[in-house]
Structure 1
Amino acid sequence: MTDADSSNLKLGREIIIPVQCSCALTFSEAIFMYHFSSTDSFASVACGVFQGLLKAQSLKEDNPDVKRNDPGDFMIKVPIRCACTNANQRRNGFKYLVTYPVIKNDNTDLIARKFGVPEETIWDANKLGPFSTIFPQTTLFIPTKDVPVVKWDVPEDLPSSPRVATPIVKIQPSKKSKHLISYIFLGLGLLVVIILLIAAIFAFRSIRKRSHPTSFQLLSARSSVSSNVSPDFLDRMSKLKPSLTNFTLEELRNATEDFNEGSMTGKAVYKGQIGGSYVAIEQMNTEEAARHVIYILTKISHLNIVKLEGCCYGTNPYLVFEFAEYGSLRDCLSNANVARQLTWAKRTQIAFDLAVGLHYIHYCTKPSFIHHNIHSRNVLITTDCRAKITGFTLAKPVNSSEENGEISWNESVIVGRKGYLAPEYLTYGLASLKLDVFAFGVVLLELLSAKEAAADGLFLKNPVISFEDAGHECSLGYLEKLKEFMDPVLEGKYPLVDAMCLAFLAKACVEQDPHHRPTMDKL
């Protein structure tokens, strides 16, 4: 690209850069070079500049000689996720796959129109459904039959405005009142559109004033507004809290039939219907606890983190969340009929979703957060069997950094669920991000076996540790013990090697010594 070409590009203009994707077996990547300065960190480059296209751990492994705060600048290798078309895609005439970083207000319909491809092809390539939600700082593969071209004139959908909470009351309006209501909503709609347009113009001007180019030896696969602003600006933007709907207690009563026991889905959690959509309504113990969860979830936006829809303050504060149709992972595993629907492929996807969600709160938010209460009842399952992390009442910010490594601290009060608590925390009150890693390992064991984390005084991690008594990992004795441990409803329909790998991973996560456990970045 010449200087003249680059000067003609408008700020935020999307471009496509062809790369040679190295596809070896199941691993594929394209290498870019990035100008790494002394003020950069691997986390800021991975999560900020490249918007989640890779993990900080990948940068560390590919650039072992580079350390933060070293004087001078470096050119570092950046391995970017890419993919080659599979046999089925090639049979259908697809020749190219575009790695597309999702930005705010994107949806699969808009992306499909940008590339001139059927929306269904994006769903198939990314294992999505018609109603799947996509989030910023994630990537999608866009299959195309011809050399991919971005259509710049595709109108972007306006972001939906915050809902105005109204009492759900069944009223039979007269014809006159129907017309009056129509005019009122028309006027409100026009007002909202005008406000959104003004806000969009203001945001665009603000970004143009603050942005500056980022140095690349090779351009990334896409140039967007987000990739051209400083990490400080990205940090300030991440601190902006999205609007939450303030519900009235009467609305929540109507939604749950006056908090009927039949609408309860868990302890102090109700299923409700508001505006034609189902929601989960959780009663919080105190206003302080409610504000704590709001503080965290308004800083986080991720596919694998439950979305906070609104709140209701009062004597008994309530929080309103998106509803997960299948309930918790524990509910699914405890119901044999539902557990049969959780095939091996779906269980591994759930494990992956949980790992990605934990990695996000550990490494891609400012500040980082420890969840502190990971267990199978705090993992929600959607209709397309994707996992979402919930239960952030015990979560807290962690001031960890690359230069001082992972930190730990002591807690005088032990909190959490039996069977998921790491030994150093139970014995000494020593807390760190490795608590989440330990609990993640226990959930992996539940996915393998469907057993409870703690039952009849026995902990689920103990049978896995006892596998060592069966000999070498590849011995027949070990494999037989693993088969006995697996959930019988799977009926052996899983690759034994894959199950063994997941068992190894779980075993590493529940190691007695926290220093021997991997971090979520390495997972």
Structure 2
Amino acid sequence: MIYLWFIALLCISSSSAQQFYDPKNCSTEPDTYPGSRYTCKTPQHPCETYLVFRSNQHFQNISEISKLFHMNPDTLLQENNHLNSSSQFLEAGREVLIPVSCSCSGGFYQVIFRYVVPENTTFSEIACGVYEGLLKSFTLERANLNTTIAGAELNVPLRCSCPDDSASIGKKVNYLVTYPIIQGDSDSDIRAKFGISEEDFLEANDLHQFSTLFPQTTVLIPVRDDSIKITDIPESSPAPISGFLPTIPVAKTHRVKSPTSLYIAACVIGFSLLIMAILVSILYIKVLRKWKSESVQPFTPSTSVVMSPTRGSSTTSCLSPDLLAGIKYCLVNYSIEELKMATKDFSEETKKSDSVYKGLITNLEVMIKRMRFEDTRRVIDLHSKINHINIVNLLGVCYDESDLSWSYLVFEWPKNGCLRDCLSDGSNVLCWKQRTQIAFDIATVLHYLHCCAFPSYAHLNVSSRNIFVTEDFRGKLADIAAPESLRSGAVSEKVDIFAFGIVLLELISARENTEGKLAKDSIGFLGGGGGGSEGGCFEGLRNFMDPNLKDYHLAEALCLAVLAKACVADDPLHRPTMDDIMKVLAKMASPQ
């Protein structure tokens, strides 16, 4: 293997590529793979170039980002002239150009920044999280050998590159922009953002027609113009799943080796498309027949949501973004008159929150949520992609003909209402088994969103008021309306873990969390309170338990309390994953 890499490195000088693309992710162990750092083959003068950084929950505006890169906010505003002020809020994932002076040191291009570690963490979290994969974790570790990481001021050598005059595109390129890849990126979108050709992109990164891009890696963007601008590209549909790791295929180039291979490829593709068309047609006909036999109107597949409201009685209307989702997911199209009748004209009596009403439609209790029209498509598309028994079902939609800026989504209303109300009802106390089952049900939903859905999501609004209890006392999670796609790492899912810990504490004590005080002040007995003895721990737990709860198992209650404490840890990195939580709760929950 070493010999093969030696041969490959010898061939670098004869290659026309700018740099090698490294498919290994940010946190991989050290290796000799070409491209793990961008090499400078001959001593060169520093060059002015750019890095791309994405805003996130820790860096939400230019002012915060400029502090990370030790720059004047006005400098960043000048380079990102589409932004108005340094305090302007940037939605998560907004791309910002960072101007840097890239130089060659030790055979590698780099630009060094200083980073003061605010708390105990890891090199991987800093490299892959804070700096979003703009350097490898082992590169950061090597640059700071024998350094105690907590509270240290680290040298951070970020990856950059200068155009190589010996390369075929070198004299035509003004900048090589370092761009970090995240899940969902495609080479076509990246090229469109910077207005570069496919040929230049592939050559700058030594990619070919069969290459694949992976999350938590970087590519170089060769820019010919004197100025750089990132064009906003509408968010595309997620890439299909390939095995267990989502990958982003690089589009094929227009360069082909021979007409024969082109004809063969065309025949194979044509035959595959023919087979797919036949299968889809057969499936479609079967579905139509089934719907007709059930006196349900067939649907017309469409890539857009039906926008015109119907009048009169409810009709079946499929609002999915594609055929397969449409077959799986059909919604009732309600009229505004039906919803007014169900909610007594949206009276205060039926109002459950600012935008949620409880209603009765054909003897079925429903939850009616009012929202902006432009958000409706996104929510419907999301519900068409997720499928879990412990998620509150979306039943239908209504467009207000008198005010098209607003619409209504209709969800099921589980029989026993929200968990918060159940815990507050002293006359109908949830037993211990019901509480542990509800905890397990919600854990399975979050595990599904974090680990099984594609793309994966964080709910970001888990609470006892968004958890509903069915007639047979199973838990269902609601408000699956605006989750965040986990496209930039595992930071956001820790918000769900914290919120789930709060729910566990409420299940144990029935007390409602108030501004985090329940989490911080009520479980001191687990940290040595009550005299620090085992007896004091159990006594503190008994005092914390819901006084109306008589059938609980003390050992299980202590286990849940310890799990909840881990979930609400101050450091997100110290919180367990949903996989860990599932393993604990599975032993307590009753069989399905």
Q: Please report the TM-score for the alignment, with normalisation by the length of structure 2.
A: 0.43
Q: Please report the TM-score for the alignment, with normalisation by the length of structure 1.
A: 0.48
